[in-house]
């Protein structure tokens, strides 16, 4: 690795830490299963023993973060990832048998997962704990050291989590930083052995460009406009309940949240009514402590501007009666906001919404649905609500998305054995479960010549080439 001569400020700090971590990796390039499990154990105990402090820190960052949602989406998800890795680590570390070519027998071939070295993790603000811990668990399981860059939108969680991590792990194992306008670009520019970024497509392009200077392999977990499709055969009111939950969990600040809905034209009103009714059943007022706030005023103002633009261009904006957007004492809350017939060229239909605003589009012919989806950038998730197998297969086979959810939203993310990742504009690469272990490993292909292998017919392919060589080549091609 090149040194950091000429680097100053954050770059110099990051280079020093990277060098220290890489030295640690060189001293133990292939940690034993026991060493990896010991790191995962420390990570698990850190979460279990400090759950309350971590939840409180997240609530401070948001102004109001539902404790139940924090437990479900951050604590349970993180622990699930860690424990799944612990249970399956021995299997993942085994040599993976491969078929040996007949003409190479008695040789043996297999693949072996090898630690990459030092992994970089850039975590966003919306699920900052889980999106630090889950990839870190995969990196540790794969035998790596790691550097984490946390979002500047979550300073309280950074204070708490970084202190805990730096206490539990040596500086040759892990380092954690608070990102910002200067540190984050410097972090992305480091020559990691792998870099995972979770965030917007816009920033993801900048991260990929910075990483390309070092040919650093990247996994990009982005977002985009994930559609939810209600087919004619499905109970539209039941679909509305499930979509409303997915859209308001964490105030819609979820990369895999349903971004817009497509429903039969005749069912538009019923869908809107049922979605808003579900919201009022879930939250007794805008001040309900289980209604998570938007993370900052900037995001709140952006959503209000998007809704206002749509309304000015003829869209119908619906909110539950008695639930108005609130900005009390620096806490910014917004109820589920259903927008009927938004302009297709407006911000609501161009940009990922990332909030509790739900545009509703209608169709008369279901064949128009996949055609519309395929005109857009490929989404992170696509949700289909249908009990008709032909309809489901049509959407699965004719559209491309990172994940496909049938008759439910969000829950594909928490399946430990299901790879999570985007495609096209919604990302590249994947992790979770063995996919995470493999992402942070080099799957090395190995050929072992054995026994009397030196006497096999392949020796006849060595020069000088003659009639026997030609005969052998003819047999191999047959």
pLDDT tens-place string over residues 288-344: 999 999 999 999 999 999 999 999 999 999 999 999 999 999 999 999 999 999 999
- Both tokens of residue 248? 């308001």
SS3 220: strand
Report residue 89 CA to chain centroid gap. Answer: 21
Q: Quote the pLDDT of residue 6.
A: 40
Query: Using 50, 70 and 90 to split pLDDT, how confident is the model at 17?
Result: very high
In this structure, are residues 187 and 9 in contact, taking their beta carbons and an 8 Å threshold? no
Give CA–CA dist 320/335, Å, rounded.
7
Q: Quote the pLDDT of residue 122.
A: 98
Give CA–CA dist 476/478, Å, rounded.
6
Q: What is the mean pLDDT of the chain?
A: 95
pLDDT in tens, 35-54: 999 999 999 999 999 999 99
Residue 218 confidence (pLDDT) above 70: yes
Which are the catalytic amino acids? 221, 255
CA pseudo-torsion sign 261, 262, 264, 268: positive
Query: Using 50, 70 and 90 to split pLDDT, how confident is the model at 453?
Result: low
What Rg do the C-alpha atoms of the chain give, in angstroms? 26
Query: Using 50, 70 and 90 to split pLDDT, how confident is the model at 454?
Result: low
Q: Quote the pLDDT of residue 5.
A: 35
Q: Which residues contact 156 (CB under 8 A, 6 or more apart)?
A: 57, 58, 60, 61
Task: Return the closest-CA partner of residue 320 out of 360, 362, 356, 268.
Answer: 356
Give CA–CA dist 4/218, Å, rounded.
22
Asked which of 79-83, 132-136, 223-227, 471-475 is least confident by mean pLDDT, the reply is 471-475
The residue to which tokens 């006497």 are assigned: 455
In this structure, are residues 226 and 380 in contact, taking their beta carbons and an 8 Å threshold? yes
Specify whether domain 227-417 bears CATH 3.40.309.10.
yes
Q: Which residues contact 28 (CB under 8 A, 6 or more apart)?
A: 35
Query: Using 50, 70 and 90 to split pLDDT, how confident is the model at 105?
Result: confident
Whether residue 138 is preceded by a cis peptide bond, meaning omega within 30 degrees of 0, is no
Report residue 432 CA to chain centroid gap. Answer: 9
Task: Return the closest-CA partner of residue 276 out of 334, 230, 228, 337.
Answer: 337
Residue 1 confidence (pLDDT) above 80: no
The phi, psi pair for 120, rounded to 5°, reads: -100, 135
The CB density around residue 474, as the number of other CB atoms within 10 Å, is 9
pLDDT in tens, 113-126: 999 999 999 999 99
- CATH class for the domain made up of 9-222+429-442: alpha beta
Domain ranges of the chain: 9-222+429-442, 227-417
Task: Return the closest-CA partner of residue 348 out of 383, 384, 313, 318.
Answer: 313
Q: Quote the pLDDT of residue 285.
A: 97
pTM reported for the whole predicted model: 0.94
Our CA angle for 327, 333, 338, nearest 5°, is 125
Query: Using 50, 70 and 90 to split pLDDT, how confident is the model at 9?
Result: confident
- Both tokens of residue 84? 């799944």
Task: Return the closest-CA partner of residue 229 out of 249, 257, 258, 256.
Answer: 258
Residue 59 confidence (pLDDT) above 60: yes
Fill in the DSSP letter of residue 379. Answer: P
Task: Return the closest-CA partner of residue 70 out of 123, 19, 126.
Answer: 126
Task: Return the closest-CA partner of residue 185 out of 201, 158, 206.
Answer: 206
């Amino acid at each position: 690795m090149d040194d950091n001569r000429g680097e100053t400020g954050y770059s110099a700090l990051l280079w020093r830490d990277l060098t220290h971590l890489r030295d640690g990796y060189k001293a133990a390039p292939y940690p034993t299963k026991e060493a990896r499990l010991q790191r995962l154990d420390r990570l698990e105990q850190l979460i279990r023993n400090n759950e309350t402090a971590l939840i409180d820190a997240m609530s401070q960052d948001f102004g109001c973060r539902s404790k139940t949602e924090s437990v479900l989406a951050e604590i349970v998800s993180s622990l699930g990832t860690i424990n799944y890795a612990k249970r399956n680590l021995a299997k993942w570390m085994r040599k993976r048998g491969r078929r040996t070519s007949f003409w190479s027998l008695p040789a043996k071939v297999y693949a072996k997962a090898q630690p990459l070295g030092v992994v970089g993790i850039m975590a966003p603000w919306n699920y900052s704990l889980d999106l630090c811990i889950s990839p870190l668990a995969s990196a540790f399981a794969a035998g790596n050291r790691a550097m984490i860059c946390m979002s500047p939108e979550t300073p309280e969680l950074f204070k708490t989590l970084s202190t805990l991590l730096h206490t539990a792990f040596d500086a040759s194992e892990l380092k954690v930083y608070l990102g910002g306008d200067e540190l984050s670009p410097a972090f992305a520019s480091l020559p990691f052995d792998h870099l995972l970024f979770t965030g917007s497509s816009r920033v993801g392009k900048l991260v990929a460009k910075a990483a390309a200077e070092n040919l650093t392999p990247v996994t990009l977990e982005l977002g985009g406009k994930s559609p939810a499709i209600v087919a004619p055969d499905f109970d539209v009111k039941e679909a509305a309940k499930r979509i409303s939950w997915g859209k308001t969990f964490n105030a819609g600040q979820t990369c895999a949240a349903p971004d817009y809905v497509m429903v039969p034209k005749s069912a538009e009103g019923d869908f809107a009514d049922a979605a808003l009714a579900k919201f009022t059943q879930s939250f007794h007022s805008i001040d309900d402590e289980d209604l998570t706030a938007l993370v900052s005023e900037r995001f709140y103002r952006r959503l209000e501007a998007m809704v206002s633009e749509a309304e000015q261009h003829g869209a119908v904006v619906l909110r539950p009666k008695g639930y108005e957007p609130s900005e009390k004492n620096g806490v910014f809350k917004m109820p589920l906001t259903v927008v009927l017939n938004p302009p297709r060229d407006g911000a609501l239909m161009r940009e990922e919404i990332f909030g509790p605003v739900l545009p509703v589009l209608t169709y008369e012919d279901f064949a128009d649905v996949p055609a519309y989806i395929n005109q857009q950038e490929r989404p992170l998730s696509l949700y289909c609500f249908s009990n008709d197998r032909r309809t489901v297969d049509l959407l699965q086979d004719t559209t491309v998305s990172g994940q496909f959810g049938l008759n439910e939203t969000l829950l594909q993310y928490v399946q430990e054995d299901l790879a999570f990742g985007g495609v096209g504009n919604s990302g590249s690469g994947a992790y979770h479960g063995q996919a995470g272990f493999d992402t942070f490993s080099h799957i090395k292909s190995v050929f072992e010549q054995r026994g009397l292998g030196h006497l096999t017919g392949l020796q006849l392919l060595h020069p000088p080439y003659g009639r026997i060589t030609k005969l052998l080549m003819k047999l191999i091609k047959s």
